[in-house]
Every structure is written in structure tokens, then in C-alpha cells.
Structure 1
């Protein structure tokens, strides 16, 4: 009887370890950190949940975007996205073309959205090109 109970407990522990490993590898925050270390673009977004913010990494800089719902001609859609950098020191090396690339990626997912950049990124966008 004790041997059977011990086998069941080992089976339960084995299932919990496998479940934990699967959750670890599917974690979006872990994928963001990997993309940040590799200086690639990666976006975490739940398009069906308008209350959940967009998080993305581009060239080692972690950005976050707040989505706002509004009315379009056909339905209620995301009409405004406010983007800011989590750490302003990571913005070093980000160019205007990089910001345009990020805007295009957001507009592909939310075609009715107007992208608004928060400080200090808005200063780069508003500065005239010489």
C-alpha cells in the first residue's frame, strides 16, 4: 500500500515538473528578454484584450504601448496607441527610421490606430530633419 502511494506521489511530482517546464518555455516575458539580448524585434500583444498593453523589444530597447478603444465607421476598434520606453537609457542608438518601422508594425495589427509617442521619443519625431 505504501509503495503504491509512493508511486502515485512520484507520478504527480513528475507531471508537475513537466507542467512547470512547459510554462517556463511559453512565458512571453522570457521571450522578450531573449529578443532584447539578441537585439531583434519581438512583440507580445493580445489583440482580443484591449485592456492589456502591448510590449515589444526592438534593438535592445523595451517599449510598452497603451491601447485605447474608440468608434470607427464599422465598429469599436483600437484607435489610439501611446508608446513609451520602459528605460530611457536604452533609447541610445534608436533612429527615426527605427521608430517608423515600429509604427508600421503596430499599424499592421491595428489599422485604425493613431500612434502617439511619449517623451522623450516625441522630441525626436517633432525635430525637423536637416
Structure 2
């Protein structure tokens, strides 16, 4: 009887170990960190949940966007997105063309959204091109 109980305990421990490993590899924060280290564009977004913020990495800079719902002609959709950088020091090297690329990617997913950049990114958008 004790041997059978011990085997069940080992089986339960193995199932928990496999579950933990799968959850580790599916973690979106880990994927964002990998994208930041490899210098690629990666976005974590739950389009069906309007209360969950958008997180994305571009050129080793982590951005976050707050989604706001509003009425369009046909339905209630995301009509406003406020984007800010988690760490302003990571913005070094980001150009105006990079911000336009990010806006284009967001507008593909949310075509009715108006994108607002928060400080200090909005200073780059507002300056004139010489």
C-alpha cells in the first residue's frame, strides 16, 4: 500500500513539473524579455480584453499602451491608445520613423484607434523636421 502511494506521489510530482515547465515557456513576460535581448519587434496583446494593456518591444525598448473603448459607427471598439515607455533611458536610438512603424503596427490591429504618445516621446513627434 505504501509503495502504491509513493508511486502516486511521484506521478503527481512529475505532472506538476511538466505543467510548470510548460507555463514557463508560455509566459508572455519571458517572451518580451527574449525579444528585447534579440532586438526584434514583439507585441503581447489580448484583443478580446480591452482592459488589458498592450505591451511591446521595439529596438530594445519596452513600451506599454493603455486601450480605451469608445463608440464607432458600427460598434464599441478601441478608439484611443496611450503609449509610453517603461524606462525613458531605453528610448536612446528611437527615431521618428520607428514611431511611425509602431503606429502602423497598432493601426493594423486597431483601425479605429487614435494613438497618443506620452512624455517624452511626444516631444519627438511635435518637433519640426529640419
| Same fold by TM-score greater than 0.5 | yes
SS in 2 for 1:66: strand
Counterpart-to-counterpart distance in 1, 2:97 and 2:31: 24
SS in 2 for 1:115: strand
Cα shift at 1:31: 0.1
Other-structure match for 2:23:
23
Other-structure match for 1:103:
103
Q: How does 1:18-97 map to 2 (within 5 A)?
A: 18-97=18-97
Moved over 6 A (4+): none
**Cα distance per residue 1:88-110 (max 9 Å; x no partner):** 00000000000000000100000
**Cα distance per residue 1:57-90 (max 9 Å; x no partner):** 0000000000000000000000000000000000
The number of residue pairs the alignment matches comes to 130
TM-score, normalised by the number of residues in structure 2: 1.00
TM-score, normalised by the number of residues in structure 1: 1.00
Other-structure match for 1:116:
116
- The root-mean-square deviation of aligned C-alpha atoms, in Å, is 0.3
Other-structure match for 2:11:
11
